[in-house]
A and B are shown apart, each in its own frame.
Chain A
C-alpha cells in the first residue's frame, strides 16, 4: 500500500473519547505504517499532549482555556492562530476525529486535500454539522463510529448521504496482577469481601453522573449481606460532579466515592466487580470497550447509545430510565464469582475480535487511502 501523508485533527487532548481514540489510531499507524507521515492538530490542549508528541508532531491551536467563538472568532486572534497553523506541512488527507474537531477547520490552511470526518458523537454534540463553520462543505467523506451515530448523521445530512460505518476501538487491555487490583480496590474504599461497582466519565448529565448516585442509593448492600461500594472515576472539572458529590453528603451516603480523574482507567476497571454505565446517551463508549476487554461485566441502560450494539447478545441492561431495574441487574451480576465470570467472558468475546485497535483501525486508514485515490482520480478527470 502506498505511503500516505495524513493529519489527525482532534478537538482537544483531554482524556475524553475522541482524543483517546485518536491516540490509539496514531500509535497503530506509527507501528503498522512507518512509511506514513502523520501529524496531529489539536484545537485545545490537555493531559494527553505528552502521549501525542511521543508519536507525531503535534500542534495545539489555542492556549489553555482560551475563549473562542467558532462562528465568529475574534479577527486579531484568528490571524495569530492561522499563522500558527500556516507552517503545517501539506498532507494528502485530513481526518477529523469527531465533529467537534471541526472547530479547527477555520484556522487550518484551505487546501485541495480531502477531509474525512469520523463522527463519534450522538445527540446535541453533533450540532457542529449545522453550525456554519464549513464542516458540511469541506467534508469529502463521512464515517460513523457506530450504527447509532450513522442514524444521527443521516437525520442531519439526509437519507442519501454516503456514510461508512467504522466502529470505534481501543487497544487490547491487559489484565493487571491480583496485587495491583487489590490496591486499586483499597484506594476506592472496597475491602476484599466487599463488592465494587465502578462508573466513569466526565461529570455531565449526558454521562449520567447523577444517575450513578441514584444507583448507589439502591445498591447499598447485596441480599447476601455483603457491602456494595461504588466509585466514579473522572468528572471533577464539571459543575454537576460537585453538585452530585454535595448531594451524596446531604444524603449521608458513605459507600460511594467520587474519585476524580485517573491517568489510566485500566487497572481501576480491572479491579471492579461490575462496571455500571449510567449514561443517558453515549455513542460507543470506549470505557465500556475497555471494561469488556478486561472481562469486567458491564450493566447499562438500553436505548442510550452504542453499548447494545457493542455487546450484542451479551448486553445486560434495563430500559432507560429504570434505575431500580438497573440496580437489580447490578446486584444479580454481583451474585457470585461464577455469574460475574460468565457475563464478563461473554462480553469480552463480543468485543475483543471486532473492536480492538488491531482489528478495526485498518478500516480507517483504508478509507483515507480510498478518499485520496478518489480525489486524485477526480483531479485527473478534470485535467482531461
Chain B
C-alpha cells in the first residue's frame, strides 16, 4: 500500500515547543517516509511579506518550507472593498473558501488537526479522511468547545504529560492514543548514548573516570535545591556506601559557590563535590553523558523538554514529586525526602544504562515515531 498523504493544519509558525515538534514531524514524514504532506497555517505569526512561514527560534529565523498561510488573504483585500464590506467578515469568508479549496486539492488520506483547531476546520472536510486530533500540554483557549468537535477523531496524538482530564472523553470512546514526546533536532544526541563519549566529557569536567557520578542542575539556589543535591550525595554514602562524585551545573556567583562548597565540606564530601556553569535550559547535551544518574531535588515543576539530553543518554532522572513528571525515565520520591531520593538513585545505578538509552531513543526519535503514526493511519484506511 502507498504511503498515506497527510494534511497538517496548525495555527501559526510560533515559537512554542509543540509547534516546533510538529514541524519536525512533518519534516520526518516527508524525508524519512516519503509521505506527501501539506501544511496549512491559519495565520501568519510574523509579518514579513513572504509566502513561506517563518519564525524565530533561539534568535535565528527558521522557515517551514512548503507551509501555506491561509490568513495571508487578509492583506490582499483592497482597502476600498474592505471598508465597504468590513474587512473581518470578508476575510473570514475568503479564508473559508481558500481553506476548503486547499483541503480538497490536497485530498489527503489523513488530516492532523493541531490542538484547538477542529471547530474551524472540520466543516471544510467533505471527503472523510482519517481524522487525527493533536492535544498539546497547554490547553488552547477554546479547548472545551474542541472536545465536542473532535468526538469523531479516529486517533489522538497526545503530548506526554497532558492532563488526564483532557483525554477522558477519548478514553471513554476507546479512541486510540499515540503519545508524542517533545521532539527536538536530536543532532548529536544519539551519539551521546555511546559510552565512549563519557570519558572525554568527564576529563573535560574534571571528574574521575572510574567513579560513580551523579549530576544535577539549576540556576535557582532555592527552587532547584542545590543544597539538597549535596545532602543526597551524603545519603548515598551514608546509607548505601557509595562514594559517588556529584557535579552540579549551577550558578557561579561567588556567594552561591561558597555556600554550596561549605555545605559539601560539612557533609564530608571533600573532593567528591564539583560545580560547573549552568547554561540555563536544562543540561547541555555535551555535559549529560558524564553522569550515571541524574538527581534533581526540585521544589517546583520541571519541564520535560529540559530532560531530553540525559534521557537520550539512558540516565534515570531521580526527583521529588514536586517535579510533576510522568515519564518512564523519571522516578520520584516524596518531597524533601532525601533518604528516599538517595535510595531511588542507588537503585537506578544498578539498571542497564545502555538498554535504557535504547528504549529512550525509541521514544524521542522522531523518525521512529512518525513510522508509528503512518502505520496507525494505514490501519484505519483498511
What is the chain B residue whose CB lies nearest that of A210?
B227
Q: For the complex, is A247 an interface residue (Cβ under 8 Å from B)?
A: yes
Question: CB < 8 Å: which of B227, B336, B337, B338 contacts A205?
Answer: B227
In the complex the two chains form, is B335's CB within 8 Å of A280's CB?
no
Mask of B255-279 contacts with A, CB within 8 angstroms, 1/0:
0001100110011000000000000
Instruction: Report the stretch among A13-21, A269-277, A319-327 that lies at the interface.
Output: A319-327
B222-A243 in contact (CB<8A)? yes
Which of the residues B231, B299, B322, B335 comes within 8 Å of A321, measured between beta carbons? B231
B238 at the interface (CB under 8 A from A): yes
Q: Which residues of A contact B263 (CB under 8 A)?
A: 280
Question: Is B199 at the interface (CB under 8 A from chain A)?
Answer: no
Q: Which of B222, B267, B337 has the most CB of A within 10 A?
A: B222
Residue A304 at the chain B interface, CB threshold 8 Å: yes
Residue among B299, B336, B337 facing the most chain A CB atoms (10 A cut-off): B336
B336–A214 touching, CB < 8 Å: yes
Band of interface residues on A: 20 to 34
B238–chain A nearest beta-carbon distance, Å: 7
Q: Check A320 against B337 for contact (C-beta < 8 Å).
A: no
Given contacts A124-B258, A243-B222, whether A321 and B339 have CB atoms under 8 Å apart is no
| In the complex, residue of chain B having the shortest beta-carbon distance to the beta carbon of A322 | B238
A210 to B231, CA, bound (A): 13
Residues of B within 8 A of A217 (CB): 335-337
- Report if A303 contacts B (CB, 8 A): yes
Shortest CB-to-CB span from A150 to chain B, Å, is 19
- Partner of B338 from A123, A320, A323 at Cβ < 8 Å: A323
Tell me how far the C-beta of A2 lies from the nearest C-beta in chain B, rounded to whole angstroms: 45
B13 at interface, CB cutoff 8 A = no
Residues of A within 8 Å of B248, CB to CB, are none
Task: Confirm or deny: B249 has a beta carbon within 8 angstroms of a beta carbon on chain A.
Answer: no
State the Cβ distance, A245 to closest chain B Cβ, in Å: 12
Interface string of B338-359 (1 = CB under 8 A from A): 1100000000000000000000
Contact B262 A123 (CB under 8 A): yes
Q: Within 8 Å CB of B238, what residues of A?
A: 322
Total number of A-B contacts with CB less than 8 angstroms? 34
Chain A 94-109, CB within 8 Å of chain B: the 1/0 string? Answer: 0000000000000000
Check if B369 is an interface residue, CB within 8 A of chain A: no
A320/B262 in contact, CB under 8 A: no
Q: Are B266 and A213 in contact (CB under 8 A)?
A: no
The verdict on A251 contacting chain B, using a C-beta distance below 8 Å, is yes
Grouping DSSP codes into helix (H, G, I), strand (E, B) and loop, the B interface class, with mixed when no group exceeds half, is helix
Chain B residues, CB < 8 A from A124:
258, 262
**Bound-complex Cα distance A304 to B267 (A):** 10
Decide: A321 and B267 in contact? CB cutoff 8 A.
yes
B338 contacts across to A, CB distance below 8 A: 214, 323-324
Closest to A214 in B: B336
B234 at the interface (CB under 8 A from A): yes
Please, how many angstroms separate the alpha-carbon atoms of A283 and B234 in the complex? 23
Decide yes or no: A320 and B222 within 8 Å by CB, A213-B336, A214-B336, A217-B336 being known contacts.
no
Evaluate contact between A251 and B335: CB separation under 8 angstroms.
yes
Shortest Cβ distance from B227 into A: residue: A205
| A250 vs B298: C-alpha distance when bound (angstroms) | 13
Distance in angstroms between the alpha carbons of A123 and B266 in the assembled complex: 11
Give B197 Cβ to nearest chain A Cβ, in Å: 34
Proximity bits, A203-225, B CB within 8 Å = 1, else 0:
00100001001100100000000
Query: B267 to chain A: which residues have CB within 8 Å?
Result: 320-321
A residues in contact with B231, CB < 8 Å: 321
Segment 113-128 of A: residues with Cβ below 8 Å from B: 123-124
Tell me the residues in window 240-288 of chain A with beta carbons closer than 8 Å to chain B beta carbons.
240, 243, 247, 250-251, 280-281
Query: Are A321 and B266 neighbours in the complex by a CB distance under 8 Å?
Result: yes
Cβ–Cβ < 8 Å partners of A324 in chain B: 338-339
- Chain A positions within 8 Å of B262 at CB level: 123-124
Q: Which B residues lie within 8 Å of A320 (CB)?
A: 266-267
Interface residues of A in 314-353 (CB under 8 A from B): 320-324
Q: Quick one: which of B293-318 are within 8 Å of A by CB?
A: 299
Query: With the chains together, A243 CA to B221 CA distance in Å?
Result: 11
Q: Closest approach, in angstroms, between the C-beta of B171 and any C-beta of chain A?
A: 29
A248 to chain B, nearest CB (A): 11
Are A321 and B258 in contact, with the CB atoms below 8 A? no
The answer to whether B266 and A304 touch across the interface, beta carbons within 8 angstroms, is yes
User: Which residue of chain A lies nearest to B299 when distances are taken between CB atoms in the complex?
Assistant: A247
- Which residues of chain A in 128-177 are interfacial with respect to chain B, using CB atoms and an 8 Å cutoff? none
Determine the chain B residues whose CB is within 8 A of the CB of A251 once the complex forms: 335-336
CA distance A247 to B298 in the complex (A): 12
Q: Which B residues lie within 8 Å of A240 (CB)?
A: 222
Tell me which residues across on chain A come within 8 A of B335, comparing CB atoms. 217, 251
7 A-B pairs (CB sep. < 8 Å): A124-B258, A205-B259, A213-B336, A214-B336, A214-B338, A251-B335, A320-B266
Q: Which residues of A contact B (CB under 8 A)?
A: 123-124, 205, 210, 213-214, 217, 240, 243, 247, 250-251, 280-281, 303-304, 320-324
* Residues of B bordering A, CB below 8 Å: 222, 227, 231, 234, 238, 258-259, 262-263, 266-267, 299, 322, 335-339
Known: A214-B336, A217-B337. 16 other contacts (CB 8 A): A124-B262, A213-B336, A214-B338, A217-B336, A243-B222, A247-B299, A250-B322, A280-B266, A303-B266, A320-B266, A321-B231, A321-B266, A321-B267, A323-B338, A324-B338, A324-B339
Closest 6 CB pairs of A and B: A321-B231, A214-B336, A243-B222, A324-B339, A320-B266, A217-B336
